[in-house]
Amino acid sequence: RTQSGIRHCRVSFAVQCCRLLYPMGNTPGTMQASQDASDGDCVVIGYTWDGKKLAGSSPVSWTRASRAASTGKSQRSSGSTTSDSLSSGSSFVAAAVVSGPSTKAICTALKQVRKTCPQTFTIVHSPQVSRSARGRLDCFRAGARMLAHDDAAVEQGLRTIMRQFDAAASVPNPSGRVYSCPECGLAGLSEDALHLHFPLYHSMENTHAHDCPICDRRASEFRAFAVHLHNEHGPIEEREPAFPAFAAFSWVICRRPSDGKLLLCHEPAAIAGGKPAYWFPAGRVDEGETFLMAGERETQEEAGIQANVKGVLLFKLEGGLVPRVVLYAEPVEDQTKEQEEGAGGGQRSAAVGTTACIPKSLPDFESCGAVWLDVSELDNLTERDYRGGGTAELYRSVASGELAPLPLDSLSYEALEEMVQRLTKDQDCLMDHWLAEIKRVWALLKEDYPSERLEME
């Protein structure tokens, strides 16, 4: 009974989402919240876990409705832990979609929702905010859990939060245990559901240290709860592979040729100073990968963009042992500004036939989302808004053409890629051998590339 009830809620919720997003049958339309928002106005639409649209736009009125509902018929069977956790208090409000042209008004609404309904998944759907470097950070700070680029992203977010209780319904562990999120307290989550929930709801927040509710390990025994949860629990296929002993990193500056905009990611707060600071797609080279392969993979994972690496910008060597390569890339299928906006930002365009250039909106373990920004937008940011120093200068140098991509077809670059593929497979950890290999390849790079493009740190 519990499982069928949850499945009914999932279907009902999906139907309500589609009615909201596509009010005219199967014809994609602008989200109703955006339609209702005029200049200076902010519209908030709340939804219960069974997909019902809540009356009014006040979180206070929502919680009153939830308390009234909790005294009547339960959303699900009365014996369900999941049902009990969702049918009372502010957890009754599954999602709130906030829309409006004013960042200030949106932030005010977000703060009210999060204060009254702390477990609610808050989505901002505003083209003005989506394209604003400062506005995005302000919304995250005010309590947004997702910044949606388009209608399709809003629907994806609403469907994804229901997946938490698809997983909870099956309760795959033999003990039948369910868990509460140690950060926000949302209850009735299976192991897989908690694995989905924590980065979805909290990757943009400066979370506390937590003991693991699944394996009972103490917080002092691992680096961060989010990392422990992701790599030790939940679906095995979604966990990160073990890092190679040899460390190498690939960074990507991705530029869209049609309008010159640059791709920036929101790094998870846990690794970016307690807030979703800006950074470029970047990450560690996995076993057997090349820098190019790692760069294209990270761009897909962190930004949701399929990209082709076109050249190399910089070679960095940290401590004489850790190579970092900064690559230049472009999206696989470009989309002009007019086509993007005319297609609603994320709907399939007949002229282009793809959504490949629409960045990621849905938060996960990899990032809190990504955005294409004009280089002028960087003027509205400070050094503290980036994960690392020198980020804005690097983007500006690429945008101005001062730092032009260099070719990848040199023998020395091929030697570099062959080296990193081989050393990331090396299990012997022979440090002297690694140093000798790096020194040899670095000398080759000096012959083919300008000295100012090779940096020793």
Rounded Cα distance between 392 and 403, Å, is 13
Give the pLDDT confidence score for residue 167 in this predicted structure.
Answer: 53
As a whole number of Å, the CA-based R_g of the chain is: 23
What one-character-per-residue DSSP string does 372-436 give? EE-GGGGGG--GGGBSSTTHHHHHHHHHHTSSPPBPS-SHHHHHHHHHHHHHTT--S--HHHHHH
Rounded Cα distance between 152 and 400, Å, is 33
- For all residues of the chain together, what is the average pLDDT? 82
For range 52-70, the mean pLDDT = 66
**pLDDT > 60? residue 337:** no
Give ∠ CA 428-224-319 in degrees, rounded to 5: 45
- Per-residue pLDDT of 211-245, as tens digits, reads 999 999 999 999 899 999 999 999 999 999 999 99
Give ∠ CA 337-340-341 in degrees, rounded to 5: 85
- Per-residue pLDDT of 79-137, as tens digits, reads 344 444 444 444 578 999 999 888 999 999 999 999 988 999 999 999 888 889 999 99
Specify whether the CB–CB gap between 12 and 19 falls below 8 A.
Answer: no
Q: Which residues contact 402 (CB under 8 A, 6 or more apart)?
A: none
Q: Which residues contact 401 (CB under 8 A, 6 or more apart)?
A: none
- Per-residue pLDDT of 30-58, as tens digits, reads 344 444 444 457 899 998 887 778 866 66
Helix (H, G, I), strand (E, B) or coil at 67: helix
Q: Which residues contact 90 (CB under 8 A, 6 or more apart)?
A: 59, 62, 63, 66, 116, 117, 118, 119, 120
Rounded Cα distance between 314 and 147, Å, is 32
What pTM does this model have? 0.85
Helix (H, G, I), strand (E, B) or coil at 179: strand
